[in-house]
Structure 1
Amino acid sequence: MNIFRHRSLALLAPALLIAVAGCSSADDATVAVPRPDARTAPLCRQLHRELPGKVDGERRDDPRPRSVYTAGWGGPAIILRCGIVRPPKMIDGKVAQGDDPNAIGGGVDGVDWLMEKHDDGSWQFTTAGRRAYVQVTLAKELSGPDDSSEVLIDLAPAVKKAIPEGIASMR
């Protein structure tokens, strides 16, 4: 049974829709840098080269420490990390079936995502069905039903080009 649903974010509950607004400087943003394995690291480096200069209208503003495994836009508003460890809610690269209402699967422009709302109000999106796990975190201050899908739409071409479909390493 394929528990991962392919549909646009526009069809998901409005609560999933996040808009980017109210940003601060990335000089204040720090992020844990992933340590991808030897198979995943080249994919993440390729993704770094493919990432857009703007996401949802926000300019690229990478967090500290600078790394080819992380990127940011609009200060700490949108943070991308490549080569993370497999999220516990994924099995064989797909969203695990479960009763967690804060974690669902969905697809945007040919990229599948595990979408998780955290207790602090922030959202985290992790690619599924790709040879490397790419995580995008949106700050809790981001909300609004109209522009949210733009973040994932803007990132989809780079993810599709750099990270082939398949199952990422188990680590």
Structure 2
Amino acid sequence: MASSTHRLRRASAAAAILLSAAVACAPSDGSAAVAVPSPDAEVAGYCTALHKELPAKVMDDVARRGASPDSPYTAAWGDPAIVLRCGIERPAEVMDPKNDGVEVNGVGWVVDDRGDDGLRFLSRYREAYVELLVPASYHADASILVDFAKPVEKSIPKTVDD
């Protein structure tokens, strides 16, 4: 019995350390923590152009907020954050013909339903890859892509293939 109590204390201590590390890494200014891609110069130009075209609100009333660190390759809306990252490496999912895809206003997307984690959308047939992460709490579907189709269409040229 003492052995299991000791293991429980060690597990609790480890969990407390992980939790404090996560809190320490969270931005203190209320912005959403986002991993920033490192695109090459050409893709970076497309992503910077996209950043300027992104909407102030999505889904009618979810307002744009800061992303941390601040970058022209990332953007966020709402709390919990809907996160957009531009200039990611080509995702394997866009090459898999078994993955569901949709086209919204001229922009192709792969749809990755992540269950309790929400939806992940990946742009297809563009010179830069865009990832959009939508938490499950928004109960969103592919209609959210309407808010992003025009900016992507305007900023990132089409390519022949993935």
Question: Which string of whole-angstrom CA distances, capped at 9 and with x for unpartnered residues, describes residues 105-130 of structure 1?
Answer: 11111111011012543210010011
**C-alpha distance in 2, partners of 1:131/1:112?**
12
Which has more radius of gyration?
2
1:79 aligns to 2:72 (yes or no): no
Q: Return the TM-score normalized by structure 2.
A: 0.74
Contact 1:62–1:70 (Cα < 8 Å) also in 2:
no
Query: Which stretch of the first structure deviates more once superposed, 114-123 or 61-70?
Result: 114-123
Is 1:152 the equivalent of 2:145? yes
Which of 88, 108, 111 aligns to 1:115? It is 111
Structure with more of its chain in helix, by fraction:
2
CA spacing shift, 1:39–1:140, aligned 2, 3 Å: same
Structure 1 outlier segments of 4+, above 6 Å: none
> Does structure 2 conserve the Cα–Cα contact (< 8 Å) formed by 1:63 and 1:75?
no
Q: Structure 1 regions of 5+ residues with no counterpart?
A: 1-25
Shift in alpha-carbon separation, 1:119–1:151, aligned structure 2, 3 A: closer
Matched, 1:164 2:157: yes
* 1:52 equivalent in structure 2: 55
User: For 1:4-51, what per-residue CA distance to the aligned partner results, in whole angstroms no more than 9, with x for missing partners?
Assistant: xxxxxxxxxxxxxxxxxxxxxx82621100111122000000000111
Instruction: Specify every segment of 5 or more residues in structure 2 that has no aligned partner in the other structure, as ranges.
Output: 1-28
Q: Percent of counterpart pairs with the same letter?
A: 40
How many residue pairs get matched?
134
